[in-house]
Structure 1
Amino acid sequence: MLISCPYCGPRDVSEFTYQGDGNRGRPDPASTDQAEWNAYVYDRLNPAGDHNEIWQHSGGCRSHLAVIRNTVTHKISSISFVRKPGAGA
């Protein structure tokens, strides 16, 4: 599978690290709700079709990318930076 980094161009998937589901919301770090944290850490959906994912170009420019990928065909329909290049933390 090729992922086309907006900065580096098309690269093999081996240069990237999957960072997780782009739709999941992280609980408040100060939260002590054990059920909420268990759901965040362990519950995963396995959708068939287009899915919003976060990937890091770990073998290249190190950018985090928002990728919409079809989980059945692996066709990528959209890639963008999670943050604008040069933006602070």
Structure 2
Amino acid sequence: MHRIDCPWCGPRDEAEFAYRGDATVRRPAPDAGIDAFYDYVYTRANPRGWHTEWWHHAGGCRQFVQVVRHTMTHEIAATGKAGDTLPVPSEPVPSEPVPGA
């Protein structure tokens, strides 16, 4: 079980939160065209390493929280409110275990 530090409630169990998606994706301009909106809705990267995400504190204050999480280790480096600029670690991605090692 992971602990997520809600900016309003403090550290809480991961079970109180719902993952809501990539926090780095920006909505296209209204006149951007159908291809831009298709990409916005359906095309997503599956990053490996540090990633900024939205989590909804559904079992608590019901606020949206930004979380900087490592997608391989699930380590959480930072949390913040919607308008906050969070630091993303520049550490390299840990190497994958070698099968049979």
TM range (shorter): 0.7 to 0.9
Tell me which residue corresponds to 1:87. Answer: none
Shift of 1:6: 2.1
- Number of matched pairs: 83
Aligned partners of 1:7 and 1:56: how far apart in 2? Answer: 12
Shift of 1:79: 0.5
Tell me which residue corresponds to 1:21. Answer: 22
* Equivalent position SS for 2:77: strand
Q: Is the Cα–Cα contact under 8 Å of residues 49 and 71 in structure 1 kept in the other structure?
A: yes
Tell me which residue corresponds to 2:79. Answer: 79
The answer as to 2:54 corresponding to 1:54 is: yes
**Unaligned regions of 5+ residues in structure 2, if any?**
85-101
Aligned partners of 1:16 and 1:27: how far apart in 2? Answer: 27
Shift of 1:11: 1.5
Structure showing greater Rg? 2
Aligned partners of 1:58 and 1:43: how far apart in 2? Answer: 26
Higher strand share: 1
- When residues 32 and 25 of structure 1 are mapped into structure 2, their CA distance, relative to the original with a 3 A threshold, is closer
Q: Which has the higher contact order (CA 8 A, sep 6+)?
A: 1
- Aligned residues: CA RMSD: 1.6
Shift of 1:32: 6.3
Aligned partners of 2:53 and 2:31: how far apart in 1? Answer: 25
TM-score, normalised on structure 2?
A: 0.73
Tell me which residue corresponds to 1:42. Answer: 42
Shift of 1:14: 1.8
**Unaligned regions of 5+ residues in structure 1, if any?**
85-89
Tell me which residue corresponds to 2:9. Answer: 8
* Equivalent position SS for 1:7: coil
TM-score, normalised on structure 1?
A: 0.82
